[in-house]
Structures are given as structure tokens and as C-alpha cells.
A and B are shown apart, each in its own frame.
Chain A
Amino acid sequence: MQGEVRIDKLVKTYETRQRKGLIKSEMKLVEALKGVSLSIRPGEVFGLLGPNGAGKTTLIKCLTTLLLPTSGEAWINGYRLTKDDNAIRATVGCMLMGERGLYWKLTARENLEFFGALYHLSPRARRTRADGIIERLSLGDIADRTVETYSSGQKMKLAFAKALINDAPLLILDEPTNTLDLPSARELRAVVRELNRDGKTVIYTTHIMAEAETMCDRVAIIDRGEVLALGTVPELKASLGREEVTRIEGVISAGANEAVGRLAGVSHTALTAVNGHTQLTVVSADQRALLPRLIEALVAHNALVQKIAPEEVTLEDVFIARTGRTLAEDTAVK
């Protein structure tokens, strides 16, 4: 069915060379996807949320036929992966690698028309489609300038435009708002919503939880090649049960973090750097009961606390609860 994706136990392993000095090297097996199974319904915006290195891009590269999976099966728009690869490519619009996927010596219009030709559009259809996209994304002022003269944000916008050239029922967008300034990111998200209202299914990968929360009907949290949680945003938040989140900002050592983690009632903690401070996120069953002991433990470990606040559960908290780490950390697959 158009716009539908079904993935069944998809595994991707590959060998990578590890350099050991000038001459020596050894091959290392990387398990990038460890049996991923999920279904994406037609017409929904589906978020793939996970830190860098979690396996999101590998999954997308498998779904877009850039990589051959080691085992498992997938159906995209009703076409079977590895059997109907040309059909899959023709019916998926994809934004991968951001600005790197463009020809910098060509103009936006030339880029769009070239990719239109690779999707086997007639010369007239290419021109009409390119003009329509340029207008929709307000690229008119820069459409006839070579891409090398664009700002990073303009290049990202054009990369997004390129994903629309084949008017596919399924759009796969890998970190589409990376390097965009706030207004441009907002504008792009609005267009994605509009396209979704027009009936397109969207797979949206991001490591920005707020973006996933506002954009996605359902979210899969991926880490180290596995789907850790899948559901609507309220469902995922509710999966933490009665647990609550407290965030403490200041100068907090790893020792303090460990001490807090050992307190009764604390299920998870994570220490991250935020705007030059450290931020300790504590997931616990009863915030009020915990607070005095929490402060005591921090003071005992010479923590300088600047702000302490109970907060609403976010998707990042769900991630922390599942992994004990934050989304900001790179989690290269082992």
C-alpha cells in the first residue's frame, strides 16, 4: 500500500577497518541494526528518535536501498526491499546527507531539473515540478544562483526541495532542520505538516526531542541498533508510569551523579553539559520525598547547585529511563 512501511527483523552488520598506527589495521564487525521490526501507517508522521550513532541513518539507508540489509525483510509502498528496489527508489522522496547531496556548481533550478530527469520525468514535467517547488519553498530569489553561493540554511532547504521532485507518497527526512536557523526550521516543519495533510507519509529522524514531540504522530526510540520504545508521544511519556523528572543545573561532578543514582527511589540519572553548566536529570518515583536526600547527596559531593526544578516528562526522559544516557551522547553501535 502506498505510504506504508513494514519492517520485519531487519539486521545490518558490516565490517569496518580499525586503524592501529601507521601500518596495522584490523577488521571489526559492526552490528548497526539488531533485528528492527516496526510498521509505519499510511499518512502518518513517524519519528525515528535516537542519539547520533543509534542506527537511524543505517535504517533509512536500508529502506532507501543504499545499503543491503544482512537479513530481515521490509516492504515500502507495497514493494519488497531487495526485490523491487527501483520501484522503491521511484516512490520514495528522500533527504539524506543534507547539503552534501547537491551539485554546488549548478543552480537550484538546474539541480531540481537534473534530479527530476533521474526520476524519469519528462522535460516539461521536470520544469513544472521544479517551478512549483521553488515557489512553495520561497526559493525564487536564489533559484538561478549556483548552490556554492548559498548559506548553509539555503542549501538545506534545497536539499529538502530535492526530496519533493518525484512527488512521492513517502518522504524520508533525515535530520532536515540541521543547520537551519529557527525561522527556517519552523517554515520547513510547516511545509512538512502541509505535505502530510496532503496525504504523504513522513519518516522524520531527529535527535531533537522537542521536534519529535511536535511533529510526529508516533515515535520509535532507537539506540544501539534496537527499537527501545514505540508509540505516540503521550503513550511513551505514560510508559514512565508514575515516575517524575527533576532537573538540577550547576557544577555537578560525576561522583555526585553516582551518589544520586544510588539513592532509594531513583530509577535513572543522566549528566549532560548545557550552556556551560552541567545538568543532572533524575527520574524518580516520588520527587517530593526524594528532594531533601537529593540535595544532601549533592552537597556532600561539593556540587554547586544553581537551579533545581521538577519538570514535565519529555521524550528525552523516556530515552534516559530506557538507556541511562541522554540523546546528546553519541552512542556508536558496538
Chain B
Amino acid sequence: MAATYSPPTLGQSLSSALAEARLRFVNISRYPGQLVLEIIIPIVFAAMPMLLGRATAGAQAGANFEANTGTANYVAFLLIGSNVFTIVSNAFWHMAYWLRFEQETGTLESIYLTPTSSVTLALGLSIYSAVRALITASVSYIAGCLVFRVNPFQGDVLLACAFIAVGLIPVYAVALLFGALVLKVKESNALIGLMQWVVSFLMGIFFPVAVLPPVVRWVALAFPPTWMTNGARSALLGVGFFFDKWYWDMGVLWAFLLFTPLFSFWVFNRVENGVKRNEGMGQF
């Protein structure tokens, strides 16, 4: 029988987080169609404004686009937008809907009966979600570029990857904030749906943030996905960083990375305790 309790080591916590990630991978492996969908949807999503642009501007589409954005490669510009949107959208759905879904199926109480903290579980879920999103987004971006016959690897690919990778952590932290909100109000679909569209609009999914009205632009800059998208576009397509130099933009993302997770865990723990104080985690 289990003897006296000693707190988990870092290795044990990491092992628990990886078990959570593995559980999700095993689960999604039983729904392979979902992964195929995640590769196709961003291409279709980007194709709509792309074809509209071609229909309205004809052979001048590239030149017109360059005049306003700094790159003639509108195909890659739109594909980056739609893929970052898919990554952000997945983060929201995986994190916030995870809580709601587990609450409804009864497994949330099961995992709360174990000594693994919600921070560890959120880490495991983020690992799973990030790996899944990065793989599907990369495949989707490359496939989209090939379909529309543009070079997917122009510009500084490594820097673009760095912007995406650093931006992912604050994105998952913001997603955890929404998880807390979902736990509180016990409503997921409408909240997550609304949030993903608001963020997609603010991050400039199909347009540069510069075209937004000034007040909206400032609000947009408060969201990490805006910096991720612009960082990746600037690194690959040279559309221009917000602060002119890449390292200042990267610095802002690092500031998000340091602050947002701490704030999110603080809020999540408060909500978690509030829920436990009232009807409990399983009440849906």
C-alpha cells in the first residue's frame, strides 16, 4: 500500500503532463478525419479571399497587394493568417472546450481526484495541442503554397518558426483564461466561438493590422496572436515588423510569455477554488 506522501518531483510532474498529452494523442488517433480536416480547412479558408482578390484585381492582384502590405505574395500572406488562426482557434477549443467536455463526461472529477495539479494537466494538454497544431499548420501551409504555386520557404523560415513557437505559450495562457471563464459560466461553444472570431479579426487574419482603425489597432496589439502573425509574415515575406527590428517584436512576445501564464494560472486557481467552494468541479 502507498506509504506516506511526498510531493512529486519535477520529473514525475513532467511524466504526468506527458501522460495527459499521450492520452489526447491516443484519443485523436481514433478520429483521424479530424486531422485531415485541420489541414484542408486553412487552405480553403485562405482560398476564398485569394480568389476574390484575383477576380477583382486580375493580373494586378499582386501589385495592388504589395502597395498596401509590403509583399506581392498574397497567397503566403493569407495562408500564414489562416494557419495562425487555426493554431489559435485550436488552442481555445482544446483548452476551454476540454474543461467543459470533461465536466460533461464526468472525467474532470476523475482527474481532480488525483494529486496531479491542474497546472500539470494544462501543460500536458498544451503540449498535445501545440504539437498537433504545429504539424497540421505546417503541412497545411506547405500544401497551400504548393497548390497555389508559391514558394513556401522564402525569407527567414527559422525566425518565422521562432515567432510562432514563442507566441504559442501566451496563446495557451490566454486559452486557459477562457477555460477559467468556461468553468465559471458553464458555457463553452458561444464563448469560444466568439473569442476565436474576435481574435482572428484583431490579429489580421487576411489583412495587415495597419488598416484597422487606430483604437482597434491598439486593442489588437494587446493580443499575442497579432504579434505572432505579423512576426511570421515579416520574417517570411518582409511586410515589416511593428517596431522595425525583429528583436523588439520578439521582446514583446517574450513579455507576453512571461506575464500571461502567471496571470492565467492565478485567475484559473481562483476560479477553481470558487467552483470547489460552491457546487464543485463536476457540476455542469
Q: Does B23 contact A (CB under 8 A)?
A: yes
Q: Contacts of A113 on B, CB cut-off 8 Å?
A: 19
| Distance between Cα atoms of A168 and B3 in the complex (Å) | 8
| Distance between Cα atoms of A87 and B7 in the complex (Å) | 8
Q: Does A26 contact B (CB under 8 A)?
A: no
* Known contacts A91-B5, A97-B282; is-contact A117 B109 (Cβ 8 Å): no
Q: Does A268 contact B (CB under 8 A)?
A: no
Expressed in whole angstroms, the minimum distance between the Cβ of B258 and any Cβ of chain A is 26
B27:A103 contact, CB within 8 angstroms: yes
Interface string of B1-24 (1 = CB under 8 A from A): 110010110001101101110110
* Known contacts A114-B19, A115-B114, A118-B114; is-contact A166 B2 (Cβ 8 Å): yes
| Distance between Cα atoms of A248 and B244 in the complex (Å) | 90
Which segment, of B40-48, B207-215, B271-279, faces chain A? B271-279
Q: Contacts of B113 on A, CB cut-off 8 Å?
A: 64-66, 89, 92, 94, 96
| Distance between Cα atoms of A198 and B2 in the complex (Å) | 13
A96:B109 contact, CB within 8 angstroms: yes
Interface string of B255-284 (1 = CB under 8 A from A): 000000000000000000100111111100
Pick the most buried of A16, A65, A87, A120: most chain B CB atoms within 10 A of its CB. A120
Q: Does B151 contact A (CB under 8 A)?
A: no
* Known contacts A61-B280, A67-B276; is-contact A90 B23 (Cβ 8 Å): no
Q: Contacts of A122 on B, CB cut-off 8 Å?
A: 15
A100:B105 contact, CB within 8 angstroms: yes
Residue of B nearest to A116 (CB): B19
Expressed in whole angstroms, the minimum distance between the Cβ of A138 and any Cβ of chain B is 22
Q: Contacts of A334 on B, CB cut-off 8 Å?
A: none
Q: Contacts of A66 on B, CB cut-off 8 Å?
A: 109, 112-113, 276, 280-282
A87:B16 contact, CB within 8 angstroms: no
B19:A118 contact, CB within 8 angstroms: yes
B15:A123 contact, CB within 8 angstroms: yes
* Known contacts A90-B5, A101-B110, A168-B2; is-contact A117 B19 (Cβ 8 Å): yes
Contact of A106 among B2, B27, B278, B279 (CB under 8 A): B27
Q: Does A169 contact B (CB under 8 A)?
A: yes
Contact of A103 among B12, B107, B277, B280 (CB under 8 A): B107
Q: Does B116 contact A (CB under 8 A)?
A: yes
Q: Contacts of A146 on B, CB cut-off 8 Å?
A: 30
A162:B30 contact, CB within 8 angstroms: no
Number of interface residues of A (CB under 8 A): 48
Number of interface residues of B (CB under 8 A): 37
Q: Contacts of A104 on B, CB cut-off 8 Å?
A: 105
| Distance between Cα atoms of A220 and B18 in the complex (Å) | 42
* Known contacts A67-B276, A100-B105, A106-B26; is-contact A86 B115 (Cβ 8 Å): yes
A106:B23 contact, CB within 8 angstroms: yes
| Distance between Cα atoms of A304 and B50 in the complex (Å) | 82
Q: Does B106 contact A (CB under 8 A)?
A: yes
A68:B276 contact, CB within 8 angstroms: yes
Expressed in whole angstroms, the minimum distance between the Cβ of A94 and any Cβ of chain B is 5
Can you list 30 pairs linking A and B with CB atoms under 8 Å apart?
A14-B277, A14-B278, A61-B282, A66-B280, A67-B277, A70-B277, A84-B5, A86-B7, A89-B115, A96-B109, A96-B113, A101-B109, A102-B110, A105-B26, A105-B30, A106-B26, A110-B23, A110-B26, A113-B19, A114-B19, A114-B22, A118-B16, A118-B116, A120-B8, A120-B12, A120-B16, A166-B114, A167-B1, A169-B2, A199-B1
Apart from A68-B273, A101-B110, A110-B23, 12 more pairs, CB < 8 Å: A66-B113, A89-B114, A90-B2, A96-B113, A97-B110, A101-B107, A114-B19, A114-B23, A117-B18, A118-B111, A120-B12, A167-B1
A residues neighboring B (CB under 8 Å):
2, 14-16, 61, 64-68, 70, 79, 84, 86-87, 89-92, 94, 96-97, 100-106, 110, 113-115, 117-120, 122-123, 146, 162, 166-169, 198-200
